[in-house]
Amino acid sequence: MSSPMLDVRALNKVYAGRGDPVEAIADLSFQVSDGELVCVVGPSGAGKTTLLRCLAGLLPATSGDVALAGEPVTGPPQGMAVVLQEYGRSLFPWMTVAQNVELPLKEKGVARGERSRLVGEALEAVGLADVGRSYPWQLSGGMQQRVAIARAAAYEPQVLLMDEPFAAVDAQTRFELEDLVRALWKGLGVTVVFVTHDIDEAIYLGERVLVLSARPTVLLEDVRVDLGAERDQLETRGAPEFARLRTHVYELVQQAKLGVRSLADARLTHAG
Ligand SMILES: Nc1ncnc2c1ncn2[C@@H]1O[C@H](COP(=O)(O)OP(=O)(O)OP(=O)(O)O)[C@@H](O)[C@H]1O
Ligand SMILES: [Mg+2]
């Protein structure tokens, strides 16, 4: 059997700075198959960003392992792209939109002609074909986040990691960007891990939703989302199965906030 795209085994992360050590991740194990779109939800401060940074090789695990396509992740691997919440800080203001998208391709060593083709296609895919020569600060927040997504897509990563990428855009734009992520995911066949605190967003986007406990985090439940391949903002969100999943995940997150750390406890609390 081939290895999963992402394999997380007994991951533990303790921040040991000055002052008391902070255990962010207690013990996480899960796998993500090639081409899956998995969302991660959990209470604020649970350790979601910490998890993403460990997956991305930006933060060393205290113990346990992360592997990408069977290879241990010890630093930022070639095949990964990351989109963060703060697009304002992730784009270089002195570079045009096209130059921003092109930069990682240069670093990857892609030839000039191929670079311009990839940049053109990515900007086209996010609906920004006509602003390549603009500067990021000339664009709205939603457009800047589109540029960040185009940059990740142009890179043609095996795995795309996203940390609350739409937290700072308005609701309407957010819906559009969600559909953009689904479209890119299908088009590129990329594996996506998408962190969000928005339960509806996690269910709308994901094929699975990993629900994390409060810090130090463990996996409360790996929820399968059977909403089909074609999602529609009105129809999907109006479906009975969507409502059922939302109630279920909402209850899990509430339990997590109350300090529940296992499903067995959750049932006890629920019954009592
Ligand atoms: N560099 C750091 N040094 C010490 N503690 C940290 C550091 N970064 C995060 N933490 C702590 O680790 C815990 C998990 O933080 P993390 O940012 O991963 O949570 P999160 O789930 O992403 O939260 P949010 O939903 O608010 O983004 C928090 O208690 C946080 O204070
Ligand atoms: Mg976070």
- Condensed to tens digits (0 to 9), the pLDDT of residues 102-142 reads 999 999 899 999 999 999 999 998 889 999 999 999 999 88
- Ligand 1 pocket list (CB less than 6 A): 15, 17, 22, 24, 42, 44-50, 197, 215
Q: Tell me: pLDDT of 267 over 80.
A: no
* pLDDT at 130 (0 to 100): 95
For ligand 2, the distance from its centroid to the CA atom of residue 56, given in whole angstroms, is 14
- Tell the CATH topology of 1-71+159-170+190-272: Rossmann fold (3.40.50)
Q: Report pLDDT digits (tens) over 175-221.
A: 988 999 999 999 989 999 999 999 999 999 999 999 999 999 999 99
pLDDT score recorded for residue 89 = 76
Confidence of residue 271 (pLDDT cuts 50, 70, 90): very low
For residue 167, pLDDT over 90 is answered with no
Which ligand 1 atom is the nearest neighbour of the CA of 164?
27
Q: Residues 231-243: what's their mean pLDDT? A: 97
Q: pTM for this one?
A: 0.93
Long-range contacts made by residues 123-132, C-beta under 8 angstroms, separation at least 24? Answer: 123/97, 123/98, 123/147, 123/150, 125/150, 125/153, 125/180, 125/183, 125/184, 125/187, 126/150, 126/153, 126/180, 127/180, 128/97, 131/97, 132/96, 132/97, 132/98, 132/101
Between the CA atoms of 197, 200, 202 and 208, what dihedral angle is there, to the nearest 10 degrees? 130
Taking residues 223-247, what's their average pLDDT?
97
Predicted local confidence at residue 70, as pLDDT: 95
On the question of pLDDT at 77 being above 80, the answer is yes
Mean pLDDT, rounded, for 148-156: 92
pLDDT confidence of residue 272: 38
Q: Which mutation among 11, 20, 22, 210 tests ligand 1's pocket best, with the greatest number of atoms within 8 A of CB?
A: 22
> What's residue 125's pLDDT?
87
Average pLDDT over residues 85-95: 83
Q: Is the model's pLDDT at 260 over the cut of 70? A: yes
- Higher-pLDDT residue of 231 and 265 is 231
Tell me the longest C-alpha to C-alpha distance in the chain.
65
